[in-house]
Amino acid sequence: MLDRELGYSEYLLKVRRHSAGGESEDHLALKVLAIRNLVEREGVRLDNIESDAGLCGGRVVADVYVKSRGLAVEVETLSGAGPAPILSIRDSAMKYVEHPGCSVSEVWVVVRPQSALLHALQLLKLRRALEEVLKEGGVKLKMLVATATGELRDVYEVVSRALEHAQQLANK
């Protein structure tokens, strides 16, 4: 699924590698997928999207940023994130309220489907906790999963569907 996102497209041209390096193919592909969804499903103009945008006076870098909406997108593959990969998501979302002066009113965290299923319970609990904290800082949160069709869906919806499907299979 993510392989096709790295094929030539106008969206791929918009993606820059992080200056610190170390981004996997999946990370880059999720950035492209996020940009494609912003343009095709959210109606954002491509020239209004920036990749690896320095925000908060340069103290924070967003994987993808939509200036007109104050929307920062953080892509998390959770591969190579160490023994507590869920903390990577926490840190990615929290940086927007920990650094005053950020012009971010909404944060999307995008994860791979494998990561969403592997860490389902932790993700759902983290989402609830982050929503509360970010809301206090005036920031809205969406936790999204890249689907096989290239859409970004709410993590709760994806996990619920997977559990329903598993239950149906178990009852056969």
Q: What is the residue extent of each domain of the chain?
A: 2-170
Bridge partners for 71 per DSSP = 66, 106
pLDDT at 28: 87
| The one-letter amino acid at 32 | V
Question: Cα–Cα distance between 169 and 172 in angstroms, integer?
Answer: 5
123: Cβ–Cβ under 8 A, 6 or more apart, which residues?
Answer: 86, 89, 111, 116, 143, 155, 159
| The one-letter amino acid at 78 | L
- At 75, which helix (H) or strand (E)? strand 71-76
Of 89, 149, 150, which Cα lies nearest the Cα of 118? 89
CATH T-level topology, domain 2-170: Trna Endonuclease; Chain: A, domain 1 (3.40.1350)
pLDDT at 164: 83
pLDDT at 85: 78
pLDDT tens, position by position, for the chain (172 residues)? 455 555 657 787 778 776 556 677 888 889 999 999 999 999 999 999 999 888 888 889 999 999 999 999 999 987 765 667 788 889 999 998 888 777 899 999 999 888 888 888 888 999 999 999 999 988 999 999 999 888 999 999 988 888 888 888 888 7
What letter would DSSP give residue 152? E
Q: How many CA atoms lie within 13 A of 102 on its CB side?
A: 29
